[in-house]
Structure 1
Amino acid sequence: MIILGLILFVIGLLASISILQTIGIIILVIGIILAILGALGKSVGGRRHYF
């Protein structure tokens, strides 16, 4: 999710499409939160790792 968020954000910046930038940032933040929770040992949605 982190990589997908970065890709969408960069494409949005290069193409000047604000909706892609917004979606990219949202997916990036969700990916980072899930990665942090997984690293802390908290299982989210029945999964311990999201990678």
Structure 2
Amino acid sequence: MVPLILVLLLALILFGAGFALKALWWIAIIVLVVWLVGFLVRPTSGGGKRGRWYRW
């Protein structure tokens, strides 16, 4: 009985880890798209030069 419970617990942990990794991949893709959009759509500054979208 104990090995069966251990196997089921291991399967549950691996399923949870797989779901978390898939969610992290989607979050990483969304952050990359937002970064690319912010990089491409930069505001122009006063002298006609393109300004940086970040402050540093």
Normalising by structure 1, report the TM-score: 0.49
- Name which one, 1 or 2, has greater alpha-carbon Rg: 2
Which has the higher relative contact order, 1 or 2, with Cα contacts under 8 A spaced 6 or more apart? Answer: 1
Normalising by structure 2, report the TM-score: 0.45
